[in-house]
C-alpha cells in the first residue's frame, strides 16, 4: 500500500489537495488499489503553528513516505518574515535539497477542448505538447548570497553556480525522456553572456554524442521565450537551468489556457514530490474558485512515475479530458465559455469519470 504524504500548505492548497485525493480514491475503487494517506503542515500554516515553515516532524514524514503531494505555499501574510522563515525559502527550497530532488518535470499540454482558452491563435497553438525539464537544486536560487556596504552604498550578490556533474545528471534525464517521445531536445542557456551557460552548453553538446538518435538544439533563453509564443509546437522536451526553467514553465502554462492546468513532478531522490505549478492564490482562497486539475494531473504523474501504475495514470488523464469535453470549467477557464463549477464539483466530476471508465 503506497504511503502518500499530503502537504496542503497555504491558500488554495487547502482546497485543491482534497480533490486530488478524490481522484486517487476513485482509482483505488476502479483498479482495486489501496493508498495510505497522511497529512502534515508546511509553509506559512506550519510557521503559524510551529514557528518554522518546514518542521522537523514534516521532514521526517516526507522521508518516510513513498511520494508527496504538495498543494501550494506562501502569501502576503508571511512576506515580512526573515528570509529563512518565509515559506518558499524556508520550506520549499530546503525540502528539494534534503530530498535530493534535482529535476522538475513539467508537461505543458493543450487539451483540445481548451484551445479557445489559450491566448494564442488556434492555428498557432493547436497540438502543443511539450515538457520542460528544469534543474532544481543548483543555480542562483542555491548559490551563495550576501548583502554588503561598498563605498557607502548597499549592494546584494546572488551567485550562479553549476558543476559539470549537475549538468550531466539533468541532461541525461532529459535525453532519456526525449528518446521516449519525439526525439528532439532543446537545451536553453545564455551562453553568449554567462560562464555557467557556456559550461552548460559544452556539457550538453558532449552528452549529446551518446544520444545520436535525439536531435539536440541550443537556444538562448530570450529566443526560447519568444519561440514559445511564436510557435510552441516546435518543442518536444526543453531542458534548462533553475531560474530559466522557473520562468519558461510559467510562460508555457499560460499557453495551455490557465496555469491551473500545469502539473509537475520533482524527482531525483528516493521520494518524489508532486505539485501544481501555480501558487497559493490568496485572493481566491476559501472561495471554491480554484482549479484543481493541475493537482489532479500531478497525482496522475505520481501514479505513473512513483508507482508504475501507468494504466491508472491514463485513467485520470482521460477523466480530465472527458470533463473538459463536457464543457465543465472552473472560473479561470470561463473566458472560453462552458458550464462553471466549483473546486469541489470539478473534483467530484473527475472522480466520477475515473470510476465510470
**Helix pair 343-356, 310-325: axis angle to 10 deg:** 120
Q: Are residues 124 and 249 in the same domain?
A: yes
Position 101 confidence tier, pLDDT thresholds 50, 70, 90: very high
Region 341-354: mean pLDDT is: 98
φ, ψ for residue 121, nearest 5 deg: -65, 145
pLDDT digits (tens, 9 = 90+) for 72-83: 999 999 999 998
Is 114 inside any structural domain?
Answer: no
In terms of Cα–Cα distance, which of 61, 42, 90, 114 is closest to 325? 114
Is 90 inside any structural domain?
Answer: yes
CA trace torsion 94, 164, 225, 143 (10° rounding)? 40
Q: Are residues 189 and 221 in the same domain?
A: yes
Q: Which of 141, 274, 328, 353 is catalytic?
A: 141
| CATH number reported for the structural domain that contains residue 134 in this entry | 3.40.718.10
Tell me, what's the pLDDT at 167? Answer: 98
Region 167-179: mean pLDDT is: 97
Tell me, what's the pLDDT at 65? Answer: 97
Per-residue pLDDT at 258 exceeds 90: no
Q: Which of 236, 246, 304, 332 is catalytic?
A: 246
d(CA 351, CA 311): 15
Per-residue pLDDT at 291 exceeds 90: yes
Per-residue pLDDT at 327 exceeds 80: yes
Q: Are residues 54 and 13 in the same domain?
A: yes
30: exposed, middle or buried (Cβ count in 10 Å: 0-12, 13-18, 19+): middle
Q: Are residues 235 and 281 in the same domain?
A: no
Q: Are residues 95 and 203 in the same domain?
A: no
Q: Are residues 194 and 287 in the same domain?
A: no
Tell me, what's the pLDDT at 46? Answer: 97
**Helix pair 13-31, 293-305: axis angle to 10 deg:** 50
**Taking the alpha carbons of 193, 198, 200, 201 in that order, is the dihedral positive or negative?**
positive
User: Is there a contact between 114 and 324 (Cβ–Cβ < 8 Å)?
Assistant: yes
Q: Which of 77, 98, 220, 250 is catalytic?
A: 250
d(CA 300, CA 76): 31
- Provide the percentage of residues in the chain whose pLDDT is more than 70: 100
Question: Which cell is 105 given?
Answer: 518535470
Question: Which cell is 308 given?
Answer: 508504475
Tell me, what's the pLDDT at 335? Answer: 80
Q: Which residue has the cell 488523464?
A: 317
Is 4 inside any structural domain?
Answer: yes
User: Rounded mean pLDDT of the chain?
Assistant: 96
Region 317-343: mean pLDDT is: 93
User: Is there a contact between 330 and 260 (Cβ–Cβ < 8 Å)?
Assistant: yes
In terms of Cα–Cα distance, which of 209, 211, 215 is closest to 235? 215
Tell me, what's the pLDDT at 102? Answer: 96
Name the strand (E) or helix (H) holding 67. Answer: strand 67-72
Q: 283 Cβ partners below 8 Å, 6+ apart?
A: none
190 is an active site residue: yes
Q: Are residues 148 and 229 in the same domain?
A: yes
Tell me, what's the pLDDT at 172? Answer: 97
In terms of Cα–Cα distance, which of 238, 235, 243 is closest to 197? 243
pLDDT digits (tens, 9 = 90+) for 53-71: 999 999 999 999 999 999 9
Q: Are residues 51 and 91 in the same domain?
A: yes
Strand 237-240 to strand 67-72: parallel, antiparallel, or no bridges (unpaired)?
unpaired
Is 112 inside any structural domain?
Answer: no
User: Is there a contact between 95 and 273 (Cβ–Cβ < 8 Å)?
Assistant: yes
Question: Which cell is 163 given?
Answer: 558543476
Q: Are residues 251 and 123 in the same domain?
A: yes
Position 253 confidence tier, pLDDT thresholds 50, 70, 90: confident
Is 334 inside any structural domain?
Answer: yes
Last residue of a domain, one of 255, 282, 310: 255
Q: Are residues 138 and 233 in the same domain?
A: yes
Residue 276 DSSP symbol: E
In terms of Cα–Cα distance, which of 213, 222, 140, 134 is closest to 171? 134
How would you list the strands of the sheet with 215-220, edge to edge?
Answer: 36-39, 3-9, 67-72, 272-276, 263-267, 103-109, 129-135, 237-240, 184-189, 215-220
Question: Which cell is 113 given?
Answer: 477542448
Per-residue pLDDT at 41 exceeds 90: yes
Q: Which of 189, 190, 211, 332 is catalytic?
A: 190
Tell me, what's the pLDDT at 259? Answer: 86
φ, ψ for residue 240, nearest 5 deg: -160, 170
The strand ranges marked E within 73-174 are: 103-109, 129-135, 145-150, 153-158
Measured from the Cβ of residue 9, the count of other Cβ atoms closer than 10 Å reads: 30
Q: Are residues 229 and 353 in the same domain?
A: no
Per-residue pLDDT at 311 exceeds 80: yes
Tell me, what's the pLDDT at 201? Answer: 98
Last residue of a domain, one of 232, 255, 278: 255
Measured from the Cβ of residue 149, the count of other Cβ atoms closer than 10 Å reads: 8
Q: Are residues 132 and 87 in the same domain?
A: no
Whole-model pTM: value is: 0.90
Q: Which of 48, 158, 222, 283 is catalytic?
A: 222
Q: Is 291 left (phi over 0), alpha (psi -120 to 50) or beta?
A: beta
Domain ranges, residue 313: 1-101+263-357
Is 110 inside any structural domain?
Answer: no
Region 167-193: mean pLDDT is: 97
Tell me, what's the pLDDT at 336? Answer: 74
Q: 264 Cβ partners below 8 Å, 6+ apart?
A: 104, 105, 106, 249, 274, 275, 276, 277, 298, 301
Note the Cα 217 to chain centre separation in Å: 24
97/7: higher pLDDT: 7
Position 192 confidence tier, pLDDT thresholds 50, 70, 90: very high
Per-residue pLDDT at 141 exceeds 80: yes
246 is an active site residue: yes
Q: What is the total count of domains within the chain?
A: 2
Amino acid at each position: 500500500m503506497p504511503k502518500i504524504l499530503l502537504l496542503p500548505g497555504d491558500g488554495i492548497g487547502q482546497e485543491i489537495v482534497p480533490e486530488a485525493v478524490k481522484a486517487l480514491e476513485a482509482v483505488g475503487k476502479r483498479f482495486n488499489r489501496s493508498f495510505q494517506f497522511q497529512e502534515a503542515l508546511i509553509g506559512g500554516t506550519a510557521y503559524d503553528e510551529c514557528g518554522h515553515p518546514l518542521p522537523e516532524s514534516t521532514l521526517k514524514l516526507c522521508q518516510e513516505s513513498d511520494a508527496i503531494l504538495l498543494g501550494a505555499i506562501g502569501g502576503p501574510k508571511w512576506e515580512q518574515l526573515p528570509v529563512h522563515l518565509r515559506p518558499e525559502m524556508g520550506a520549499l527550497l530546503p525540502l528539494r535539497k534534503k530530498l535530493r530532488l534535482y529535476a522538475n518535470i513539467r508537461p505543458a499540454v493543450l487539451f483540445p477542448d481548451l484551445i479557445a482558452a489559450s491566448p494564442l491563435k488556434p492555428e498557432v497553438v493547436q497540438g502543443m505538447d511539450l515538457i520542460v525539464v528544469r534543474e532544481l537544486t543548483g543555480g542562483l536560487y542555491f548559490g551563495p548570497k550576501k548583502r554588503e556596504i561598498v563605498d557607502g552604498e548597499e549592494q546584494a550578490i546572488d551567485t550562479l553556480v553549476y558543476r559539470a556533474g549537475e549538468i550531466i545528471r539533468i541532461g541525461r534525464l532529459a535525453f532519456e525522456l526525449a528518446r521516449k517521445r519525439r526525439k528532439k531536445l532543446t537545451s536553453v542557456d545564455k551562453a553568449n553572456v554567462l560562464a555557467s551557460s557556456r559550461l552548460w552548453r559544452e556539457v550538453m553538446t558532449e552528452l549529446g554524442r551518446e544520444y545520436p538518435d535525439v536531435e539536440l538544439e541550443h537556444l538562448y533563453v530570450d529566443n526560447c521565450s519568444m519561440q514559445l509564443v511564436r510557435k510552441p509546437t516546435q518543442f518536444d522536451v526543453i531542458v534548462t537551468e533553475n531560474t530559466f526553467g522557473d520562468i519558461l514553465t510559467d510562460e508555457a502554462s499560460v499557453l495551455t489556457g490557465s496555469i491551473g492546468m500545469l502539473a509537475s513532478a520533482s524527482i531525483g531522490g528516493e521520494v518524489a514530490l508532486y505539485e501544481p505549478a501555480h501558487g497559493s492564490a490568496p485572493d481566491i482562497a476559501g472561495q471554491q474558485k480554484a482549479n484543481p486539475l493541475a493537482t489532479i494531473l500531478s497525482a496522475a504523474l505520481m501514479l505513473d512515475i512513483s508507482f508504475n501504475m501507468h494504466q491508472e495514470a491514463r485513467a485520470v488523464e482521460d477523466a480530465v479530458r472527458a470533463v473538459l469535453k463536457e464543457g465543465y470549467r472552473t472560473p479561470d477557464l470561463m473566458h472560453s465559455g462552458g458550464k462553471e463549477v466549483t473546486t469541489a464539483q470539478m473534483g467530484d466530476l473527475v472522480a466520477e469519470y475515473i470510476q465510470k471508465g
